[in-house]
Amino acid sequence: MSMIADPTATPAARPKRALPPLMQLTEAAAERLRSLYARSEAGRLLRIGVSTKGCSGLSYDMGWVDAPGAGDEVVTDQGLTILVDRRAALFLIGTVMDYRQGALESGFTFVNPNEKGRCGCGESFHV
């Protein structure tokens, strides 16, 4: 039995690993977005990006737009569409957007598996 490899043989291709979704919505975030899309922001879309600011370097940036731009990734989850700035996509892969309501504040929050740390006030993060 020969132990010499066949130089004409091609190596078997490794199966590609599935990427996590770019972003997902919790039920609370989806419910809040449905409400906003139906009322005050009817006909508009939420666009999520990342900007450089804060003591940790990066901050989530959200705004309303009338239509997707050329640099937007379209994400559909729970029957809702949100946009992600393509330049922010690498920072946001696998992120879950939630909506929390407390006694003194309410708003969207992000659970981002790419975050390596946050500043003390929680307004910015780094990867």
What is the domain partition of the chain in residue ranges?
23-115
Name the 3-class secondary structure at 86: helix
C-alpha torsion sign, points 42, 43, 48, 49: negative
Q: How many angstroms separate the CA atoms of 114 and 91, rounded? A: 6
Q: How many angstroms separate the CA atoms of 103 and 73, rounded? A: 34
> Mind giving me the DSSP string for 12-66?
PPPPPPPPPPSEEE-HHHHHHHHHHHHTTTTT-EEEEEEEE-SSSSEEEEEEEES
Averaged confidence pLDDT in the chain: 84
| pLDDT at res. 121 | 58
In this prediction the pTM is: 0.77
Q: Give the model confidence (pLDDT) of 14-71 as tens digits.
A: 777 676 789 999 999 999 999 999 999 999 999 999 888 766 678 889 999 999 999 8
Q: Which CATH superfamily hosts domain 23-115? A: HesB-like domain (2.60.300.12)
